[in-house]
């Protein structure tokens, strides 16, 4: 049955997480990123989490938000048709072991697209001092799902909602520069390892039977894992290995990643603007098909 715009404004209850070194180190290790800033607990300042670690506490909140969509027209049959379309993560500071985080989600936009209904959700993660640590705008496309619009009086919430920010416009300027090409290795067991280390479980990433029932040829890698691999490479190449420089991460997911494979990442020299240094990037499969398009990592000036 059709999804309705009455779902705009749905807000989840906050979910709390206690972050420890075991979790943050496991996340980085799953990516093969063993930089000391993530894993050397003898450092004077201790370790920090990978810049994309916020996806971990966001996951159970995402599930709660999707459950709410079932109350606004999404059926059990339509639910598995959702695919991760894009991610835009605003990093206000890196998450650290010892943090007590509280994350909630708000549906901020639902649009009809040719392939189906595009739902954009805003995740806000606050620390123990009620300070915003990370804000993520994540879009999911529900393939083949129709959308019915309703009047404002039927919306789930009348309060003002956070506007979806525009992505940096960087790809138009890349024709004048040469990309750095880097291989990204995706070992056969990465989907299983990432699932457990990130604590993000979706059986299409680990269970062949479920993946094939969903219309996939085999298990596929999480989009967030592919994005995190790209971020690690950019931090190494353009931020002198310092993840504290990362303030924003985004991109559009265009294709599946089968395992094992070797992806090709193309990164361009940073573009300066008022927000910092923007590193554009793209990731292609080993066959040359796009996996992540219009990617960007914003670094502090």
Residue among 232, 58, 198, 200 at smallest CA distance from 134: 58
- Average model confidence (pLDDT) for the chain? 92
Q: What are phi and psi of 139, to 5 degrees?
A: -115, 135
CA distance 267 to 184: 12
Helix runs in 159-222, H state only: 190-198, 208-213
pLDDT above 70 for 1: no
Return the pLDDT at 274.
Answer: 84
pLDDT score, position 244: 98
Cite the residue boundaries of each domain of the chain with CATH code 3.10.129.10: 1-165, 169-301
Mean pLDDT of 237-245: 98
**Angle ∠(171,177,179) on CA atoms, nearest 5:** 80
How would residue 275 be classed by pLDDT, with cut points 50, 70 and 90? confident
Give the residue, 165 or 232, on which the prediction is more confident: 232
Closest CA to 99 of 151, 47, 141: 47
43-72: pLDDT as tens digits: 999 999 999 999 999 999 999 999 999 888
What does the pLDDT read at residue 175? 64
Residue 150 pLDDT > 80, yes or no?
no
Kindly state the average pLDDT of the residues 215-233: 96
CA-closest candidate to residue 110, choices 71, 74, 149, 75: 149
Task: Tell me which residue of 107, 40, 42 sits closest to 70, measured CA to CA.
Answer: 107
**Class of 169-301 per CATH?**
alpha beta
- Evaluate if residue 237 carries a pLDDT over 90: yes
Q: What is the DSSP letter of 19?
A: -
1-165 belongs to CATH 2.40.30.20: no
Token representation of residue 72 = 């606004």
Tell me, what's the pLDDT at 154? 55
Q: Are 279 and 287 in contact (CB under 8 A)?
A: no
Let me know: does 172 contact 183? Beta carbons within 8 Å.
no
Q: What is the pLDDT of residues 172-196, one digit of tens each?
A: 666 667 899 999 999 999 999 999 9
């Amino acid at each position: 049955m059709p999804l309705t715009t009455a779902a705009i404004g749905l807000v989840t209850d906050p979910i709390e997480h206690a972050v420890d070194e075991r979790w943050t180190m496991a996340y980085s290790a799953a990516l093969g990123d063993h930089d000391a800033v993530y894993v050397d607990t003898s450092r004077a300042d201790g370790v920090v989490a990978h810049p994309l670690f916020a996806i971990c506490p966001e996951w159970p909140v995402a599930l709660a938000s999707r459950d709410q969509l079932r109350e606004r027209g999404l059926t059990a049959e339509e639910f598995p048709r959702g695919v991760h379309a894009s991610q835009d993560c605003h990093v206000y500071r890196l998450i650290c072991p010892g943090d007590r985080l509280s994350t909630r989600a708000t549906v901020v936009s639902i649009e009809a697209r040719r392939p189906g209904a595009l739902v954009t959700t805003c995740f806000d993660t606050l620390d123990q001092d009620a300070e915003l640590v990370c804000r993520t705008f994540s879009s999911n496309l529900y393939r083949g799902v129709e959308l019915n619009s309703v009047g404002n009086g039927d919306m789930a919430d009348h309060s003002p909602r956070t506007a979806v920010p525009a992505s940096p416009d960087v790809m138009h300027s890349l024709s004048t520069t040469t990309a750095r090409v880097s291989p990204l290795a995706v070992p056969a067991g990465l989907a299983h390892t990432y699932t457990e280390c990130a604590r993000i479980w979706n059986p299409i990433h680990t269970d062949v039977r479920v993946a094939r029932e969903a219309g996939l040829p085999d298990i596929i890698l999480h989009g967030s894992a592919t994005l995190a691999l790209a971020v690690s490479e950019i931090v190494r190449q353009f931020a002198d290995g310092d993840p504290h420089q990362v303030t924003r991460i985004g991109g559009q997911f265009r294709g599946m990643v089968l395992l094992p494979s070797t992806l090709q990442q193309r990164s361009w020299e940073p573009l300066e603007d008022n927000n910092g240094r923007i590193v554009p990037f793209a990731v292609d499969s080993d066959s040359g098909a796009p996996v992540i398009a219009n990617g960007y990592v914003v670094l502090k000036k």
